[in-house]
A and B are shown apart, each in its own frame.
Chain A
Amino acid sequence: MEKHVVVIYPHPDDESFGAAGTVAKFRSEGVPVTYLCGTLGEMGRNMGNPTFANRETLPEIRKQELMDACNILDMELEMLGYRDKTIEFEDRRQVAHHIKTYLDKINPSLVITHYPGFAVHPDHNAYGAAAIEAVSLIEPENRPTVWAQAFSNDTLEKLGTPDIKNDIEKYFDKKIKAILAHASQAIGVISQYRNADNIQSDLNELAKQNLGIERFYVWKY
């Protein structure tokens, strides 16, 4: 059994879309989970539909959504205070050391983050790289396992089959609840899964198809 799980993603909602089922499963086993959220998603384009946020009110709204989602998932939350879309321009070593201060305190057995280069958004790739570097700074015998999440279109071709495939059906309702806590983002993100082939299907179906399994690669140091 895991001792403590740390989730390291840059945006409010990454945890709900990417790992809510996995988090819920760990929590049901009594494993503590902490989310180190990098930014407040200040530069997000989704403003609600119909819009209720604007560029200036979005950060506070997303902060509240994040806290609500973490309550639903029953996990601890730390906000590291970077700015959306800028993490790749920060000094990676510095970000890694910043993350490591939390890892030193928590001493996790498992870290979940994005797979650098395969996580589409520049913040995902940069923050994932910093998280993986942070773990590399820990003595090998004390290092937590790292599960890295990849979903760029070339993932299967380049990385092969994921090592971990969590079928989260049992926790799917909780996952949807956590996603919907991100009211300014949820519908806009889910509707992006629509393409020419599934233009008719409803949002619930789209969500099931795209979010029902959480996949990770075990990082090799």
Chain B
Amino acid sequence: MKPIEIDKVQDKLEHFKNKQIYIHLETTNGAYASHFNQDKYNVGAYIRNAKASYHQAKIVGDGKSFRVGLKMEIGWIYAEGLTDWEMLDSKLLMAGHDREGRLMVSLQISETPFSY
């Protein structure tokens, strides 16, 4: 993946507007967080191939780390901490990595289901 270019990603977000899409949304600090440091908590969530549709989308950020909000008819999809992006087989992949390259958050949008 490469560092997020805000204009290009905004273009891609527009592309998926008002379409039936599949979402992969995930955040994690790993299964070992509290094993290596007892003061930490294991926290994570993911949803893969949630069907959704949005009519408004925006990416906002300070040039390094970005937030994406997708406005749906009756709710929102939101991700914070995104740093990198890539188009892969017409799928928009966005993710946030820590200094050691570990994935912390990801938001992916596709018109076809993600492999499961």
Contacts and interface: CB of A to CB of B under 8 A. Distances in A.
Interface of A: 43, 45-51, 54-57, 59, 83, 85, 120-123, 152-153, 187-188, 191-192, 195
Contact of A55 (B100, B102, B108, B116): B108
Given A152-B35, A195-B36, A55 B26 contact: yes
Interface of B: 1, 24, 26, 28, 30-32, 35-38, 46, 84, 86, 88-89, 91, 93, 95, 97, 100-104, 106, 108, 114-116
B30 A56 contact: no
Q: SS class of chain A's interface: helix, strand, loop or mixed?
A: loop
B95 A55 contact: yes
9 contacts: A43-B28, A47-B101, A54-B86, A55-B95, A55-B108, A56-B115, A120-B31, A120-B32, A153-B38
Contacts of B38: 153
Contacts of B104: 45
Given A49-B101, A51-B101, A54-B93, A192 B32 contact: yes
Given A54-B95, A55-B103, A83-B116, A45 B28 contact: yes
A55 B35 contact: no
